[in-house]
Amino acid sequence: MSSSISEDNNLIVAQYRSFAQKMPPIYAGLSLAMACHIYSFWSIVPWVWSVLCPSLLMAGAMVRGIWWFRHRNTPAASDVAQSRLQRATRLLFAAALVVALMDYMAVPYLDLHGKYYLVVELLVLSVVSCVSLIHLRHYANLVAGVVNLAMLYVCWSMNDFYASLSAAIAVLFLAVLHACVISYYNDFKMLEQARREAQRLSSRNAALASSDMLTGLPNRRHFFAMLDRVLERARMKSRRFAVGILDLDGFKPVNDSYGHRVGDLVLCEVANRLTSSLGKAVSFYRLGGDEYAFIVILKGDDAPLKELGQTMISLIEAPMTFGDVTVAVSGSVGMAVCPDMAEAADRLFEYADFALYHAKRTGRARAEVFSPVHREELRAQGAIEQAIRVADMDAEFYPMFQPIVDTETGTTQHLEALARWNSPVLGAVSPSQFVPVAERAGLISAITLVMLRKSTAAMRHWPDHVGLSFNLSACDIINSVMIMRLITEVEQSGVNPRRIVFELTETALLQDFSLARENIELLRRAGIHVALDDFGTGYSSLSHVQNLPLDKLKIDQRFVADIENNQTNQMIVRSLITLCRGIGISCVVEGAETNAQVEALRELGCHSIQGYFFAKPMSEQDVVTYLNVPAEGLNRLAG
């Protein structure tokens, strides 16, 4: 009999689900039928067949009906479902045998009307059996067959034409019903198979939608969905966890130098290293580009978090070899702890992102955990950003100028424009504060244009041999539209483009080296010179510097602080001066504050120097006076 139940586990569960919903009303109907049987025949048929058997059957039906009512919506595994189906169908088959036997034994004691009642009772039970077991067609046919045989026997015992006709019609009806049962079962089976296939495809699509196709890691969408679930569990169980963001350092040059195929291999290798070494304790996700996210449950304090971040960085920094290509990248990590710093997903991610930004800004290849100090800094930056957004830039932003001096002739070669902001809300704000905020908020280009316009206007009052050094943001140099606007601004200013030097940092090159190079070419074709600022603090290689169309190199002031005594700094500066001469570009050293430093630089062969020794940043009006009357630094130099 067990063969009548499908061996397909999924189909078994579907059969059980349908069967369980039908059982309570079926057993209720059987109990009612037995009650009517007792009421109709208790005084006519012997009590064993008119009272005892129907009573026992009614009691059993009520018990089973109550059980099924309580379990009608309870999910069951395939093995449990199969066991319950077999037990239930066997009980129904037994009940059908008891009903058939009861009616068979009652026939000799009944008149024609009583027998018609039995025919109706058995016909209804046959139909109900087919309907209740419609998804178990073998059992449906078996139970209905037992009941139908009893019905035909009752009709035959009546010796009545109409009873025989009724039996024939009933048999025909039940045959049609049997065919319907078979057809419905096949349709049910096909529908269930289609539903499972649709569910499988839906699950597959959901998995694809939640996975990164390149690395196989869960993607950004999955990360935020998981973050919401982890947050909910953390609230319920008072757990602490950390959200982290890992961003690769030096990945862009790899893409530019070796192509996207090697870049993709690097991204996959990073994912493999992280998951194979830390995957049991940390859940990793790829957010996009060269950025990854992770979630880690904390079992104690968050002291090991920085160590975990440094472990990730160490895993990434090991050289990667792909065929005959060996590359090396590093990474920076930012983390935020829940609930210490925040309890909302978006705020946690924002804080982790700020910690990452702080790690990159303070040296890269570092792990940083968001702290109350960072929160105060973030709030301050938020206030600065809001003030910039509503600022009257023409009225509030203005340039200050610091000279670059030729120590051989004692003349000023260029004046570097330094952005200043006097906010009516915040007061005077340092460039070190507002420039990073403006860059992150996408507002720096508007400031750049205002500063360039005011700086070129000031140049009209300078001698023709004095040029302007003007700083470009990393956001500016990789924005081709912005480059064209800067060229247009210079052309409209009436100033000779050859008097202008645009300075950019090495960090800007890392954003998009190829595009930066193209935009530098555009500037130089327009007659504008280009300098690499703060050299020695960034990450671009000397080969990149040699291959860039540069006109000038500015050596960072950190090499000047004790250059008169520090032989290492002397060797570095001498080497860079020699490099510049070798590739045919000018060299400027920043940060000279004392006569001893200036003399040491002159002895090393550098004669273009900038620093407080000559002048601090000056207003537009003071520049005119300075150019007409040599500053104290130049007087001391001449003396």
Domain-by-domain residue ranges, the chain? Answer: 2-202, 220-370, 391-638
413 or 6, higher pLDDT: 413
- Determine the average pLDDT of the residues in 14-34: 80
Q: Which residues contact 402 (CB under 8 A, 6 or more apart)?
A: 415, 416, 418, 610, 615, 616, 617, 618
Q: Which of 212, 249, 290, 512 is catalytic?
A: 290
Q: Report the chain's mean pLDDT, rounded to a whole number.
A: 84
Please state, in angstroms and rounded to a whole number, the distance separating the CA atoms of residues 502 and 519.
12
CB 105 within 8 A of CB 49: yes
Alpha helix positions (H), 158-278:
161-209, 220-237, 251-258, 260-278
Which band of pLDDT confidence, cut at 50, 70 and 90, is reported for residue 542?
low
524 or 138, higher pLDDT: 524
Query: Can you say whether the dihedral through the CA atoms of 619, 624, 627, 629 is positive or negative?
Result: negative
Among this protein's residues, is 290 annotated catalytic?
yes
83-97, 230-244, 455-469, 496-510: segment of lowest average pLDDT: 83-97
- The total of other beta-carbon atoms located within 10 Å of residue 539's CB is 15
- The total of other beta-carbon atoms located within 10 Å of residue 235's CB is 12
51-60, 113-122, 322-331: segment of lowest average pLDDT: 113-122
Using the predicted structure, report yes or no on whether residue 635 has a pLDDT greater than 60: no
Number of residues written out for the chain: 639
143-147, 210-214, 430-434: segment of lowest average pLDDT: 143-147
**What is the pTM for the complete model shown?**
0.62
534 or 380, higher pLDDT: 380
pLDDT in tens, 335-352: 999 988 888 899 999 999
What's 109-132 look like in SS3? HCCHHHHHHHHHHHHHHHHHHHHH
| Burial classification of residue 564, based on how many CB atoms lie within 10 Å of its CB (0-12 exposed, 13-18 middle, 19 or more buried) | middle
Buried b (16+ CB within 10 A) or exposed e, 417-444: bbbbbebeebeebeeeebbbbbbeeebb
Q: Which candidate, 189, 178, 158, 265, places its Cα nearest to that of 14? A: 189
3 or 98, higher pLDDT: 98
Which band of pLDDT confidence, cut at 50, 70 and 90, is reported for residue 181?
low
pLDDT at 168: 78
Using the predicted structure, report yes or no on whether residue 548 has a pLDDT greater than 60: yes
pLDDT at 534: 77
- Determine the average pLDDT of the residues in 154-172: 75
CB 211 within 8 A of CB 501: no
- Determine the average pLDDT of the residues in 572-593: 88
Q: Which residues contact 120 (CB under 8 A, 6 or more apart)?
A: none
Share of the chain above pLDDT 90, in %: 37
pLDDT at 1: 40
CB 448 within 8 A of CB 418: no
Hey, which CATH number is domain 220-370, 3.60.15.10, 3.40.50.300, 3.40.50.200, 3.30.70.270? Answer: 3.30.70.270
For residue 483 the two structure tokens come to 């480059």
For residue 167 the two structure tokens come to 């039996």
- Determine the average pLDDT of the residues in 466-480: 91
Which band of pLDDT confidence, cut at 50, 70 and 90, is reported for residue 207?
low
pLDDT in tens, 122-145: 777 777 777 766 666 666 777 777
- Determine the average pLDDT of the residues in 523-527: 94
Instruction: Give whole-number Cα distances, 373 to 185, 241, 378, 429, in Å.
Output: 69, 20, 9, 19
Please state, in angstroms and rounded to a whole number, the distance separating the CA atoms of residues 127 and 104.
19
Share of the chain above pLDDT 70, in %: 89
Which band of pLDDT confidence, cut at 50, 70 and 90, is reported for residue 514?
confident
- Determine the average pLDDT of the residues in 229-247: 90
Using the predicted structure, report yes or no on whether residue 408 has a pLDDT greater than 80: yes
Q: Which residues contact 221 (CB under 8 A, 6 or more apart)?
A: 209, 210
For residue 50 the two structure tokens come to 């008119």
Longest dimension (CA), the chain: 145
Which band of pLDDT confidence, cut at 50, 70 and 90, is reported for residue 184?
low
Query: Where are any strands of DSSP class E within 472-624?
Result: 500-505, 529-535, 552-555, 586-589, 608-610
Beta bridge partners of 218: 211
- Determine the average pLDDT of the residues in 286-294: 93
CB 8 within 8 A of CB 16: no
Q: What's the one-letter identity of residue 493?
A: S
Please state, in angstroms and rounded to a whole number, the distance separating the CA atoms of residues 243 and 596.
51
pLDDT at 209: 72
- Determine the average pLDDT of the residues in 251-264: 85
pLDDT at 536: 67
Using the predicted structure, report yes or no on whether residue 506 has a pLDDT greater than 80: no
pLDDT at 238: 81
Using the predicted structure, report yes or no on whether residue 618 has a pLDDT greater than 90: yes
For residue 569 the two structure tokens come to 């700094």
CB 403 within 8 A of CB 610: yes
Q: Which candidate, 635, 585, 586, places its Cα nearest to that of 607? A: 586
DSSP letter at 50? I
Assign residue 567 a region: left if phi > 0, alpha if psi is -120 to 50, beta otherwise? alpha
Using the predicted structure, report yes or no on whether residue 627 has a pLDDT greater than 80: yes
Please state, in angstroms and rounded to a whole number, the distance separating the CA atoms of residues 602 and 189.
92
- The residue with tokens 């919506």 is 73
Please state, in angstroms and rounded to a whole number, the distance separating the CA atoms of residues 502 and 529.
6
Please state, in angstroms and rounded to a whole number, the distance separating the CA atoms of residues 92 and 5.
15
pLDDT at 310: 92
CATH C-level class of 391-638: alpha beta
